[in-house]
Structure 1
Amino acid sequence: MRKPSHRSRAVLAVATAAVLGVAGCDAVGGNSSGPTGTQAHRAKPMAPVWDTSPSSVAAVGDSITRGFDACTVLSDCPEVSWATGSSTEVDSLAVRLLGKAEAAERSWNYAVTGARMADLPGQVAQAVSRRPQLLTVMVGANDACRASTSAMTSVADFRADFEDALANLRKALPRTQVYVASVPNLKRLWSQGRTNPMGKQVWKLGICPSMLGDADALDAAATARRDTVQKRVEDYNEVLREVCAKDKRCRFDGGAVYDYRFGTDQLSHWDWFHPSVNGQARLAEIAYRAVTAKKT
């Protein structure tokens, strides 16, 4: 048999080195060689992409995460926030994950009543300074709750702002996990709240006029208006799902908040639209199930 040429031996050496290099990378990462013998059995398994017990929580979003109208009329009540509140009646996500003492030190609420998706990048920038292991996001209702349907945030702008917010987060904190709650079913909230005379009086102060305006009107124009708002909410939720799905450390709730059937006990008895303390507790339950699930 003919002896291999110098060129053949060089090619074989390069191929062998490449195979060994790949094997080493798979075992321990980088360019290091893999463990051998008993060391191979002692190699630590790779950490899971999603940690079901993060040690710090920051929240961004709108009035729901601020506990608006849950305690007193037209006021924030962050202590009952589903995400970071301290109330024992709510048992917030942060308390469930960290315990009450740790939650007081290791959770932060940057949500702002009235915020829309365009405000999310700024809120995320604030949250980044705390370097949270988990960021909760609940925003979008105010993008649909405008003075008219024509004033609602476009789906394209909603997507662009959400993508910007996540991109900025990833630049600063590539390993921070994100829980994204769906936008609530606004038409269902109108259907529940319109049975309460006091709630309808509060609605006239300007709460979600695109959906709640002329609350008792059932004519074709009013029905078309509400259906338009509802379709926009559904489109927003699809954006949240799609964008979140592209990030391996992002979990969307699968529409759980949208699907939740808020009853009168879960609605604020000040405005019959925002979650009550009981409603905040239900949101905390939904979030906790999503965050601690082994797989999504």
Structure 2
Amino acid sequence: MTAFTGVVTLTAAWATSPAAVSAAEPWRPVVMVATGDSISAGFNACGWYVPCASRSWAAGDGQAVLSHYLRLRSLDEGITGHNVNLAVPGATSANLAGQMAGAVARRADYVTVLIGAQDACVSEERLMTPVAVYQSRVTEALKLFQAGRPGGRVFVASIPDLKRLWRVGRDNVVARGFWALGRICPTMLARPTSTAAADRARRDRVRDRVVAYNAALARVCAAYGPACRFDGNALFATRFTLDHLSRWDFFHPNAAGQQLIAQRTFETVRDWAGEPVWNLGIQS
């Protein structure tokens, strides 16, 4: 998959640094960075096998999604900016530290993290990232950001339920065709119609690995301190449907799916940012 990099920058004439904002004042980030994999890059959300930054749940500027970026911009008319992000299609937990280094270099005040689906979506189970390794990598990445931007804040999204993806697409012949031709997430999506005990057990084991990754994310975020928020498995528990998936691969979220992610995840940081401006139509 093609790599895609960038940063979301929000500027406000009255804002100097989030560290300078008192506890009584609403939080306003000056620089926002999205990190992670193809989901945060908006891959396949508006074109054939390309990232679509405008439809990223985290950093997109498209009204069809109403991303974290737009919800933050809605809070103050003085906030302006441009939107690209550091998420890279195909990235795994091994790439997160490098992305966080980029966030530090760009003096990020707010970073979103969604990483781990590609740690589980590999050609065979034995190649899935061990939970301890996954936790160590995420810990390293967040420590890097905390050291470089001690006043920054981090939002960590849970990994979506890959078994639900199989469940909503398994009876669709087109979805099964894309999964097979593209060798998409074989650990979960190989032989999607099989009811053999071995295949049922394989799917359960992959789901269990994602559950374990999400538990690791909760632990890492808790250790980071109050400047980190984990979504409490809200994204994992989201009951998305086939209508939320791209018709180019039946794996990545389309615009509706990206909007659903933005809605479910922004709730976790709403009290950081304050209530949205309702007359702009930005609602959860």
User: What is the distance in 2 between the residues matched to 1:206 and 1:52?
Assistant: 43
User: What is the distance in 1 between the residues matched to 2:62 and 2:139?
Assistant: 33
Aligned to 1:9: none
Residue 241 (structure 1) aligned to one of 218, 222, 228: 218
The superposition leaves residues 162-212 of structure 1 with CA deviations (integer Å, 9 ceiling, x where unpaired) of: 110011111111111000000000000111112221221111212111001
Q: 1:212 to 1:245 in 2, by over 3 A?
A: same
| Counterpart mapping for 1:190-229 below 5 A | 190-204=166-180, 205-229=182-206
SS at match of 1:261: coil
SS at match of 2:204: helix
SS at match of 2:235: helix
Gap runs ≥5 in structure 1? 1-45
Quote the offset at 1:48 in angstroms.
Answer: 3.4
Aligned to 2:162: 186
User: What is the distance in 2 between the residues matched to 1:192 and 1:97?
Assistant: 32
Quote the offset at 1:294 in angstroms.
Answer: 5.6
CA contact (8 A) 1:50 1:177 kept: no
In the alignment, is residue 167 of structure 1 matched against residue 107 of structure 2? no
User: What is the distance in 1 between the residues matched to 2:37 and 2:92?
Assistant: 7
Quote the offset at 1:53 in angstroms.
Answer: 3.6
Residue 98 (structure 1) aligned to one of 47, 50, 73: 73
Q: 1:61 to 1:271 in 2, by over 3 A?
A: same
What is the TM-score normalised by the length of structure 1? 0.79
User: What is the distance in 1 between the residues matched to 2:26 and 2:128?
Assistant: 36
The superposition leaves residues 232-274 of structure 1 with CA deviations (integer Å, 9 ceiling, x where unpaired) of: 0000000000110112210000000000001122111222221
CA contact (8 A) 1:49 1:249 kept: no
Gap runs ≥5 in structure 2? 1-20, 274-284
User: What is the distance in 1 between the residues matched to 2:24 and 2:126?
Assistant: 41
Aligned to 2:132: 156
Aligned to 2:231: 253
User: What is the distance in 2 between the residues matched to 1:241 and 1:77?
Assistant: 28
User: What is the distance in 2 between the residues matched to 1:196 and 1:69?
Assistant: 19
Residue 176 (structure 1) aligned to one of 137, 152, 164: 152
User: What is the distance in 2 between the residues matched to 1:112 and 1:124?
Assistant: 12
The superposition leaves residues 66-123 of structure 1 with CA deviations (integer Å, 9 ceiling, x where unpaired) of: 1112222322211100011111111111011024994533x54100000000100001
SS at match of 2:81: helix
Aligned to 1:85: 60
User: What is the distance in 2 between the residues matched to 1:241 and 1:50?
Assistant: 28
Q: How many residues are matched?
A: 250
In the alignment, is residue 72 of structure 1 matched against residue 81 of structure 2? no
User: What is the distance in 1 between the residues matched to 2:87 and 2:58?
Assistant: 10
Residue 38 (structure 2) aligned to one of 49, 52, 63: 63
User: What is the distance in 1 between the residues matched to 2:86 and 2:102?
Assistant: 7
User: What is the distance in 1 between the residues matched to 2:168 and 2:158?
Assistant: 19
CA contact (8 A) 1:50 1:249 kept: no
User: What is the distance in 2 between the residues matched to 1:101 and 1:198?
Assistant: 46
In the alignment, is residue 110 of structure 1 matched against residue 110 of structure 2? no
Aligned to 2:99: 123
Identity fraction in percent: 41
Structure with the larger helix share: 1
User: What is the distance in 2 between the residues matched to 1:168 and 1:266?
Assistant: 34
CA contact (8 A) 1:58 1:109 kept: yes
User: What is the distance in 2 between the residues matched to 1:47 and 1:130?
Assistant: 23
Q: 1:133 to 1:249 in 2, by over 3 A?
A: same
User: What is the distance in 2 between the residues matched to 1:166 and 1:265?
Assistant: 34
SS at match of 2:35: strand
Partner AA of 1:206 in structure 2: R
Aligned to 2:112: 136
Quote the offset at 1:221 in angstroms.
Answer: 0.7
What is the TM-score normalised by the length of structure 2? 0.83
Larger-Rg structure? 1
Quote the offset at 1:52 in angstroms.
Answer: 4.3
